């Protein structure tokens, strides 16, 4: 069964962003979505991750149409199974990095794994307040928070946008490893063509269509 599928999605804000968008994500797979600024990549990611209702079409998670799910079921799936790494981090600012992870661990009944903190290079700063961390450190804490949940599907919008090339590469390998080892899948929005090519499938949003290029 697919982790995620989209059938015939359309969406319009002031003008039509895209129509007849379809894709499937299987366990251990990663999908990259590329396209010029303003083409609708983030909007599509919001729709796929249940945050925004499309004007047309269906999104299914684990084979279930999310528009037909009762609210409780959808809330549970969002809490336990979906991991969102977006451009703004939404960390709790008054807390330390570690406390932010504790909240995630508690909500999803998982443990905070020290190797994860080591791999992300945030072990040393983990007890500092979020407001005392650099942008790139905050980004890595938010990635740690998402992975601590042990999600089945990761949605990532330019997750390494604030990071230098080397750190970005390490963080992305972590995502790929995570998917392989946990039967999870990832939808990644990126402007980085090299990074996109590391994914199982690559799609380009252009001329209002989602075209598969790998
Ligand atoms: N909530 C909204 N209300 C109205 N228009 C919106 C909304 N969100 C996005 N848009 C418009 O939809 C278009 C696509 O935006 P989106 O953020 O999806 O692009 P993007 O491909 O992610 O761009 P970028 O690469 O710059 O992040 C833009 O013209 C934007 O102004
Ligand atoms: Mg965007």
Decide if 19 is inside a domain: yes
Overall domain count for the chain: 1
CATH number for the domain including 28? 3.40.50.300
**Ligand 1, atom 18: closest residue by C-alpha:** 40
The DSSP H or E segment spanning 137 is helix 135-148
Distance 43 CA to ligand 1 centre (A): 6
Decide if 179 is inside a domain: yes
Decide if 112 is inside a domain: no
Atom of ligand 1 nearest to the CA of 40: 18
Chain centre to alpha carbon of residue 198 = 16
pLDDT in tens, 2-52: 999 999 999 999 999 999 999 999 999 999 999 999 999 999 999 999 999
The pTM assigned to this predicted structure is 0.94
Tell me which ligand sits closest to the C-alpha of residue 35: 1
Nearest Cα residue to 182 out of 136, 122, 113, 117 = 113
Enclosing domain of residue 197:
4-90+154-212
Decide if 189 is inside a domain: yes
Residue 87 pLDDT > 90: no
Decide if 61 is inside a domain: yes
Decide if 97 is inside a domain: no
Identify the residues whose C-beta falls under 6 Å from ligand 1.
13, 17, 35, 37-43
Decide if 169 is inside a domain: yes
Decide if 145 is inside a domain: no
């Amino acid at each position: 069964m697919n982790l995620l599928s989209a059938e015939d999605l359309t969406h319009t804000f002031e003008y039509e962003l895209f129509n007849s968008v379809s894709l499937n994500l299987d366990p251990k797979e990663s999908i990259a979505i590329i396209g010029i600024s303003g083409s609708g990549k983030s909007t599509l990611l919001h729709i796929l991750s249940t945050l925004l209702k499309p004007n047309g079409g269906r999104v299914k998670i684990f084979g279930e149409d999310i528009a037909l799910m009762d609210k409780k079921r959808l809330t549970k799936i969002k809490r336990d199974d979906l991991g969102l790494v977006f451009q703004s981090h939404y960390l709790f600012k008054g807390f330390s990095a570690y406390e932010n992870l504790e909240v995630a661990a508690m909500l999803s009944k998982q443990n905070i794994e020290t190797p994860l903190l080591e791999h992300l290079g945030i072990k040393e700063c983990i007890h500092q307040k979020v407001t005392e961390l650099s942008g790139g450190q905050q980004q890595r804490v938010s990635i740690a928070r998402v992975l601590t949940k042990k999600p089945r599907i990761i949605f990532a919008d330019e997750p390494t946008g604030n990071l230098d090339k080397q750190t970005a590469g390490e963080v992305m390998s972590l995502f790929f490893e995570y998917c392989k080892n946990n039967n999870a899948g990832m939808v990644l929005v990126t402007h980085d063509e090299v990074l996109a090519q590391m994914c199982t499938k690559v799609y380009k949003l252009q001329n209002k269509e989602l075209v598969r290029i790998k």
